[in-house]
Amino acid sequence: MSRLSQGIKVQYLIIKPGFTVFWGVILAIMAFQYLIIFYFTPQGTGVTPDVKTVVGGHLLAVVIFMGVATGIQCWEAFTYYLNLGSTRREFWLSCTIFNFLHSLVMAAILVGLSLIERLAFIFFGLEHSFMFRTYTIDALIVLTSLVVNFVVIATVAAGVFLLVSVLYRFSWKLLLVLGAAFLSGIMLFPAFGDWLFGVIEYVANATFGENNQETVMALLVVFSLACYLLAYPLIKGSQVKN
């Protein structure tokens, strides 16, 4: 148990600089956006800006950061774990736990910032949407938004973790082969590309909409768990990369 907590601490130390810089940049960008919105909004005319949420627009940035950060963190942490005397199983378990905790923290920050933003918009008499929800919010909606954001971010982290596990086991050459095969499939079979983008659009609309949201959330959870289960045998057979 001590080695597991030690391993999680290692991942925290690896991710901390990037985490701090990322949120510093995001908060600076948001401050600039708020300055533009409040400064250029005519006072006393009843005119409101088109942008009803600034925080919600940064969800994609959080997802991208989570993917990149998870890949770097898992790649670099593997060597540290083994040097600390931990087993590959402990590395896999600690990565799984840390990725879920990291995803929860990122989702909580997004929801917390959106709540603060909502209060600020109301104070200035501006129309606001909470995480793209335009109606009155309550505790259930806040909790639902937290869960939805957490599941989406955690799914990205799980997929990247599986990808890193594959690359650690079979080298980066496999990524080039899979990438070439994927692009060739889209070019040679347009119907496959249409189907793929249709699935992505459906998942995105259902995730942040009202239709079939529970079903999509359940599928994303299953996908995340499957990624970690598939990653385990890959990590067990992986060797340290220089």
> How confident is the model at residue 108, as a pLDDT?
94
Q: What is the rounded distance in angstroms from the CA atom of residue 51 to the CA atom of residue 28?
A: 17
* Element of type H or E holding 242: none
> How confident is the model at residue 199, as a pLDDT?
61
Q: What is the rounded distance in angstroms from the CA atom of residue 14 to the CA atom of residue 154?
A: 18
Give the CA radius of gyration of the chain: 21
pLDDT digits (tens, 9 = 90+) for 105-164: 999 999 898 888 888 777 777 767 666 555 567 777 788 888 888 998 999 899 989 888
Please say whether the beta carbons of 196 and 57 come within 8 A: no
User: Tell me, what DSSP letter sits at residue 131?
Assistant: T
Q: Which residue has the higher pLDDT, 229 or 234?
A: 229
